[in-house]
Amino acid sequence: MNRSELVAALADRAEVPRKDADAVLAALAEVAGEVVAKGDEKITVPGFLTFERTHRSARTARNPQTGEPIDIPSGFGVKVSAGSKLKEAAKGK
């Protein structure tokens, strides 16, 4: 499902215009990005998803073509965890 299909499904389910559903989806993405960028808290949609920023330590990797070691600096990533309702849906229940 791509973004336009998701917006259409949300609009139909919530019985709102597609323009409003698209605005809400865009606002959710913007707020999630801001919270993850700050990194001091996480977003939890109970039973559905949790977004949080994680720290990645510096490490040494290898170039697969040459085998030469490469130093990868520390940085940040994003962890997205599925909630209980989403996990049950994935099981087909």
pLDDT value at residue 29: 93
- Rounded Cα distance between 22 and 13, Å, is 13
**What is the chain's mean pLDDT, rounded?**
94
- Rounded Cα distance between 35 and 54, Å, is 12
- Rounded Cα distance between 91 and 41, Å, is 29
CATH architecture of 39-93: Irregular (4.10)
11-69 confidence digits (pLDDT tens):
999 999 999 999 999 999 999 999 999 988 999 999 999 999 999 999 999 999 999 99
pTM of the complete model:
0.74
Residues of the chain with CATH 4.10.520.10: 39-93
pLDDT value at residue 92: 87
Say whether pLDDT at 93 is over 80.
no
To the nearest whole percent, how much of the chain has pLDDT over 70?
Answer: 99
